[in-house]
Structure 1
Amino acid sequence: MKFALVAALASLLAASPALAQSPAIPPAGDIVPREITWLASRPSDGPVLSTVRQIADEYAAQHPGFKLDIVETPDRPSYLQKLETLAAARQLPEFFDTDATPFADKLRQQGLMVDTAALLDSYGLTDQFRPVALNYDRFGDGSLYLIPLEFGMEVFWYNKAMFEAAGVTPPATLDDLPALCPKLAATGVLPIALDGVDGWPPQRMIAWYPFRLSGADYLDKLKRGEAKLSDPIGVKTTQWLASFASNGCLAKDFSAQGYTDARDQFTQGKAAIYYMGTWETEAMINEASQAEAVRGKIDYFTLPLTADETTGANEFFVNSGIGMAVGSTTFDPLVYDFVKYMLTRYSELYANTGALSPMTYTPEKLPNDAPLYAKIVAEIPKLGSLYAVPWDTQLDPKSNTVMQQQLTLLLQGNITAEQFQQAVDAAIAENAPRFFK
Structure 2
Amino acid sequence: MSAARTTRRLRAGLAAVAAVASLGACSGVRGDSGAVTPPGEVKAHPVTWLLSRPADGATITVMKQIAADYAKNHPGFELNLITTPDRPSYIQKFETLAAANKLPEFFDTDATPFAQKLASQGRMLDVSKLLRSYGIYDDYRPIALNYQRFDDGRLYTIPFEYQAEYFFYNKALFAKAGVTVPRTLNDLPATCTALRKAGITPIALDGQDQWPLERYAAYPAFRAAGPSYITKLKYDDASLADPPGQATVTWLAALGKAGCFQSGFSATGYADAQNLFTSGKAAIYNIGTWELPSLATSKLDPKVRQDVDFFTLPNNPGSPTADNEFVAPSGIGMAVNSLTFDPLVRDFLQLALTRYPSLYAATGALSPTTNVTTTIPKDATPLYRKALDQAARVGPQLVMPWDTQLDPTSNTRLQQDLVLLVQGDQSAGSFTQKIDRTIAQNAPKKPGK
Q: Which TM class, normalised by the smaller chain length?
A: 0.7 to 0.9
Residue 34 of structure 1: aligned partner? 45
Q: Distance in 1 between matches of 2:55 and 2:281?
A: 24
Matched, 1:325 2:331: no
Aligned to 2:349: 339
Which residue does the alignment assign to 2:232? 221
Q: Are 1:282 and 1:355, in contact at CA under 8 Å, matched by a contact in 2?
A: no
Per the alignment, residue 351 of structure 1 pairs with 361
Instruction: Kindly report which structure 2 residues correspond to 1:265-284, keeping only aligned pairs within 5 A, or say none.
Output: 265-284=276-295
1:95-127 CA-to-partner distances (Å, cap 9, x unmatched) read 222111111111212222111111111111101
Contact 2:165 2:286 in 1 (8 A): yes
Of 56, 62, 79 in structure 2, the residue corresponding to residue 51 of structure 1 is 62
Correspondences of 1:204-283 after superposition (within 5 Å)? 204-283=215-294
Deviations 1:290-319 (A, max 9, x none): 334332332111000113322121122223
Report the alpha carbon displacement of residue 422 of structure 1 after superposing the two structures with TM: 0.6
Report the equivalent of 1:12: none
**Counterparts of 1:85-124 in structure 2 under 5 Å?**
85-124=96-135
- Provide the residue aligned with 2:27 in structure 1: none
Name which of 174, 194, 218 aligns with 1:163: 174
Q: Which moved more, 1:46-55 or 1:120-129?
A: 46-55
Aligned twin of 1:299: 309
2:326 corresponding residue in structure 1: 316
| 1:335 partner letter | V
CA distance in 2, matches of 1:49, 1:265: 29
**Residue 259 of structure 1: how far off its partner (Å):** 4.1
Q: C-alpha distance in 2, partners of 1:22/1:106?
A: 13
328-337 or 249-258: bigger deviation = 249-258
Change (3 A) 1:187 1:211: same
Contact 2:363 2:375 in 1 (8 A): no
Shift of residue 348 of structure 1?
0.9
CA displacement, residues 308-336 of structure 1 (integer Å, 9 cap, x when unaligned):
32212112222312111112333222221
Contact 2:365 2:374 in 1 (8 A): no
Please name the residue that 1:15 is paired with.
Answer: none
Does the 8 Å CA contact 1:37/1:69 hold for their aligned counterparts?
A: yes
Task: Quote the offset at 1:260 in angstroms.
Answer: 4.2
Secondary structure at the aligned position of 2:303 is classed as coil
Cα drift, residue 173 of structure 1: 1.1
Could you say if the C-alpha distance between residues 408 and 76 of structure 1 is closer, same or farther in structure 2, counting changes exceeding 3 Å?
A: farther
Q: Which residue of 1 aligns with 2:25?
A: none
Paired with 1:420 and 1:41, the residues of 2 have a C-alpha distance of: 31
Residue of structure 1 aligned with 2:393, choices 373, 382, 385: 382
Distance between the aligned counterparts of 1:314 and 1:251, measured in 2? Answer: 28
What's the % identity of the aligned pairs? 52
Q: How far has the Cα of 1:141 moved from its partner?
A: 1.8
Stretches of structure 1 that go unaligned for 5 or more consecutive residues are 7-18
Is the CA contact 1:96–1:327 (under 8 Å) kept in the aligned structure 2?
yes
Question: May I ask how many residue pairs the two structures share in their alignment?
Answer: 424
Q: Residues 265 and 81 of structure 1: is their aligned pair in 2 closer, same or farther, counting only changes over 3 Å? A: farther
Pair 1:131 & 2:142 matched: yes
Alignment of 1:393-412 (within 5 A): 393-412=404-423
Consecutive unaligned residues in structure 2, runs of 5 or more: 1-6, 15-29
Q: Go from structure 1 to structure 2 and tell me whether the alpha carbon gap of 1:261 and 1:149 turns closer, same or farther (over 3 Å shift).
A: farther
Q: Is the 8 A contact 2:167 2:312 kept in 1?
A: yes
Contact 1:285 1:372 in 2 (8 A): yes
